[in-house]
Amino acid sequence: MIKKILIANRGEIACRVIKTAKIMGIATVAVYSEVDANALHVTQADEAVCIGPAPSKDSYLRGDLILQKAKELNVDAIHPGYGFLSENAQFAEACAEQGIIFIGPTIEAIKAMGSKSAAKQIMHQAGVPLVPGYHGDDQNPALIKQSANDMGYPVLLKATAGGGGKGMRQVWSEPEFDDALAAAKREAMSSFSDDKMLVEKYLTEPRHVEIQVFCDNHKNGVYLFERDCSIQRRHQKVIEEAPAPNMSEELRASMGEAALKAAFAINYSGAGTVEFLLDTDGSFYFMEMNTRLQVEHPVTEMITGEDLVEWQIRVANNETLPKTQSQLAIQGHSFEARIYAEDPNNDFLPATGILQLLKTPITNAKVRIDTGVEQGDEVSIYYDPMIAKLVVWDETREKALSRLETCLQHYAIGGVTTNIDYLRRIAGSMPFKQAQLTTDFIERHNDSISTATIVEVDSYLPAIALGYLLSGQADCKHSANNTPWDIHDSFRSNLIHQPSIEFIVNDKVHTISTTMSSPNQWTLNNNGKQHVVSGSITNDTLSFSLNGVKAKLPIMFNNAEISLFTPQGMLTAQIQAADLGEIGEDDHANSVVAPMNGTVVALLVKTGDKIKKGQQLIIVEAMKMEHSIKAPYDGTVAECFFKQGDLVSGGVALIDITADDENS
């Protein structure tokens, strides 16, 4: 009987497992890297132990050290979460050797599905439909390329190990193939220490529909219906939903039975996900099987009412499945939106920084937030930049989508760039409302969802001015001297003083004159319009009255900037001062710069090289993703400031370029 579980993971999935374990009366042990010493999963667990420095390879991927700590702490079982060691057959095998239960499938099942090419062969033998492609062991680049040429472009290159979109490249024509293959192999080696590749036909209008399966050790198996995960960028999911829209009962049953056929073919046990590409004609093709719990498992839990982590633990305890197929039913509709620290306006580059403000929607039976961070935590370069998963449920897709939009309006994060506004634009777009779902949805509808939401400046600038005035008054109240000379309340003998505040919003200067009419109340004049404002600030929330209309909005102060989180999105105003600290003439005005903190994995040019616009110059890796930096114009490399393996900071000059005369 499992009485104590070590969670070999971090962040929101570690917190998720701890939550269920506590409900079941099972003790928990968290592991953490040095940088995660104060992380949320560490504080929530009954015990916690450090396993090494920040880099994953020195901590969360140290299976030997994790097992050593598990033995020392008398752990019965290890839950690997997802990512890291979750699909590592060697780790599962080591657990068995140490007499510790691995809460996951059998070692044989992990090995069978660990290689995408081997998995395809097994599925072919089991009669599960496959996409045409090459999945062989011969990794001669010329053979792989010839296979792509034979099946016709576009094709999809995929690393046979791992997942999460790593080591994947779409190739649209033969001239692109060599560079794409080299990049995919590099990324695969970096992420999985294995650069073996497969290539398959790329369907142009498919949906990504996956089936949640569950099997026990007594030859029982069920499918808990499907999830549509078509909304992706860089082959990583952004918004998932369950059940899949426009799915007939016949097709649902057919895909569910095919998924179970795949699971039974490898004597599966535990939670697994069989991923399919669903074509427009209703045909579907096996992509891969993930032998673990999926990131998006909450939407399945919301529509079935089942706790999948509890199911995992019970199966690991050698119990039979809690329910049979006939006892399972779909109830309502659910969406999951992944809140990431990333910049959708800059090719979704990961962002780092301190979560200076974190306000979430109110959770209840219909709104769930899975997270592993709190306000004040840091999003670092070392791990995946996902901040949280916002999960909603309602009786119909239309109602659930409306709830998702409302919750995204009430999600406020300051200090790091996030994709919240981008998620709102997707959820509010007509193609998404109409369920026009394809894996290239983001590219297909980029024009309608890429434009940042415009916040009505005149509507909210008075509130920002109030926030500024209140914050200044708060500083005075806490003055150490507390003398009349420390109180900045606009007092003038026999005069009414009307000081002005200048804000810069979207590169435009706005001047607001202010008159204090009573404590915490001012009359503001903005562009000839007069506003009466009053209010207070408590727990990063501005409670205000604007011309008699009361509201509450999150507010954040960051040096000379004030950000107000409105229902339309974040509005940031910079306080105009005599010296805003503008940076002078850039010493490296002709440089290409690092888009974020990361590591140089490839330097493709040297000093003196002639380069062409669009040519790859240097590749920086951050958060397990490669970012290729290209020449902005024709020229000559004047100087390279870093070499392969160096750490770089976001914004630092990487390479100086002397432009050709015609580009000067």
Which CATH number do you get for residue 155?
A: 3.30.1490.20
Instruction: Give the Cβ contact number of residue 643 at 10 Å.
Output: 9
381 and 506 inside one domain: no
Residue at a domain's end among 186, 201, 216: 201
494 and 378 inside one domain: no
232 and 343 inside one domain: yes
Query: Where do the DSSP E strands lie in 291-385?
Result: 333-340, 342-343, 349-350, 353-354, 357-359, 367-371, 378-379
Number of compact structural domains in the chain: 5
237 DSSP β-pair partners: 232
CA distance 86 to 83: 6
Please answer whether residues 381 and 362 qualify as being in contact, where contact means their C-beta atoms are separated by less than 8 angstroms.
no
Query: Where do the DSSP E strands lie in 469-568?
Result: 500-505, 508-518, 521-526, 529-538, 541-546, 549-558, 561-566
The two three-digit tokens of residue 266, written as one number: 């490898």
What residues make up the domain containing 46?
4-103
318 and 412 inside one domain: yes
| 252 within some domain | yes
259 and 153 inside one domain: no
273 and 351 inside one domain: yes
64-95 residue pLDDT tens: 999 999 999 999 999 999 999 999 999 999 99
81 and 138 inside one domain: no
Overall residue count recorded for the chain in this entry: 664
The CATH number given to whatever domain includes residue 609 is: 2.40.50.100
Residue 500's pLDDT is 87
In single-letter form, the type of residue at position 566 comes to T
- Residue holding tokens 């029982």? 220
157 and 64 inside one domain: no
pTM: 0.79
Q: Where are the alpha helices (DSSP H) in 351-456?
A: 397-409, 420-428, 430-433, 441-444, 446-449
Residue 663's pLDDT is 56
The CATH number given to whatever domain includes residue 72 is: 3.40.50.20
Residue 483's pLDDT is 46
Q: What distances in angstroms separate CA 291 from CA 214, 434, 466, one per listed residue?
A: 10, 32, 54
Please answer whether residues 255 and 226 qualify as being in contact, where contact means their C-beta atoms are separated by less than 8 angstroms.
yes
Please answer whether residues 191 and 159 qualify as being in contact, where contact means their C-beta atoms are separated by less than 8 angstroms.
yes
| 462 within some domain | yes
Please answer whether residues 130 and 286 qualify as being in contact, where contact means their C-beta atoms are separated by less than 8 angstroms.
yes
- Catalytic annotation, residues: 292
559 and 601 inside one domain: no
| 617 within some domain | yes
288 and 385 inside one domain: yes
User: Which residues in the chain come in under a pLDDT of 50?
Assistant: 473-497, 578-586
| 571 within some domain | yes
Q: What angle, rounded to 10 degrees, do the helices at 174-192 and 141-151 form?
A: 130
Residue at a domain's end among 449, 484, 512: 449
Residue at a domain's end among 575, 600, 620: 575
595 and 539 inside one domain: no
410-462 residue pLDDT tens: 999 999 999 999 999 999 999 999 999 999 999 999 988 988 888 999 999 99
| 65 within some domain | yes
441 and 298 inside one domain: yes
| 411 within some domain | yes
Residue 624's pLDDT is 55
Residue 478's pLDDT is 36
* CA-CA-CA-CA dihedral for 345, 350, 351, 352, to nearest 10: 180
The two three-digit tokens of residue 15, written as one number: 């917190």
| 511 within some domain | yes
| 583 within some domain | no
- Class of residue 102 by CB neighbours under 10 A (exposed 0-12, middle 13-18, buried 19+): buried
Spell out a b/e string for 178-200, using b for 16 or more CB atoms within 10 Å of the CB, else e.
eebbebbbbbbbbbbebbbbbbb
Spell out a b/e string for 584-597, using b for 16 or more CB atoms within 10 Å of the CB, else e.
eeeebebbbebbbb
